[in-house]
């Protein structure tokens, strides 16, 4: 991961999951990037369950 800023520790998937649950956010991880999709849940054509 050459693009990680110096001194910043990458999060594990478990850490991302725990933080998302704590903050009551819906996030997805794609190619080691975390996206907060919370505000788009209602707009998703497949519904909320597809994103969870």
Q: Which positions of the chain have pLDDT values less than 50?
A: 1
The predicted structure's pLDDT at residue 47: 76
Nearest-angstrom CA–CA distance, 37 and 47: 12
Q: Are 7 and 17 in contact (CB under 8 A)?
A: no
Is the Cβ–Cβ distance between 20 and 13 less than 8 Å?
no
For residue 3, what pLDDT is reported?
57
Q: Is the pTM of this model over 0.75?
A: no
Per-residue pLDDT tens digits for 14-26: 999 999 999 999 9
Helix (H) or strand (E) holding 32: none
Structure confidence at residue 1 (pLDDT): 46
């Amino acid at each position: 991961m050459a693009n990680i800023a110096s001194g910043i520790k990458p999060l594990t998937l478990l850490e991302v999951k725990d933080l998302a649950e704590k903050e009551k956010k819906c996030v997805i991880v794609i190619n080691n990037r975390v996206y907060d999709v919370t505000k788009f849940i209602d707009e998703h054509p497949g519904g909320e369950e597809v994103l969870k």
